[in-house]
Amino acid sequence: MNTLLLVAEFLDLAEAADELGVHYQTAYRWVREGRLTAERVGRRWRVPRSALADATAEPPAVRVREIRATRHWPRLQASLQTALIEGDELRARAVVGRLHREGETLRSLVTNLIAPTMAAVGQGWREGQVTIAQEHRATAIVERLLASLDTARPGRPRGRAVVASPSGDQHGLPVAMAAAALREDGWAVDILGRDVPAETLAEHARTTGADLAVLTVTNPEVGDAVDHAVDALRAVSLAVLVGRPGATLDDLVNDARTAGPA
Domain ranges of the chain: 2-58, 73-149, 160-259
- Given a cut of 80, whether residue 223 has pLDDT beyond it is yes
pLDDT, tens only, 160-173: 999 999 999 999 99
Architecture of the domain defined by 2-58: Orthogonal Bundle (1.10)
Higher pLDDT, 189 or 12: 189
Q: Tell me if residue 112 falls in helix, strand or coil.
A: helix
Instruction: List, for residues 76-112, the tens digit of each pLDDT value.
Output: 999 999 999 999 999 999 999 888 888 888 999 999 9
> Residue 261: what pLDDT?
81
| CATH superfamily placement of domain 160-259 | Cobalamin-binding domain (3.40.50.280)
Q: How far, in Å, CA of 147 to CA of 136, rounded?
A: 17
Torsion sign, CA atoms 74, 79, 84, 86: positive
Cα 35 versus chain centre, distance: 31
Nearest by Cα to 116 from 70, 173, 142, 77: 77
**What pLDDT does 69 receive?**
59
The contacts of residue 107 (CB under 8 Å, 6+ apart) are 181, 184, 249, 250, 253
Expressed in percent and rounded to 5, the helix, strand and coil fractions of the chain are: 60, 15, 30
Residue 32 has pLDDT above 80, yes or no: no
Q: Which has the closest alpha carbon to 79: 65, 96, 62?
A: 96
**Third-level CATH fold of 73-149:** 1.10.1240
pLDDT surpasses 90 at 241: yes
pTM: 0.69
**What pLDDT score does 1 carry?**
37
Closest CA to 211 of 255, 154, 162: 162
pLDDT at site 51: 79
Provide the pLDDT confidence category of residue 4 given band limits of 50, 70 and 90. Answer: very low
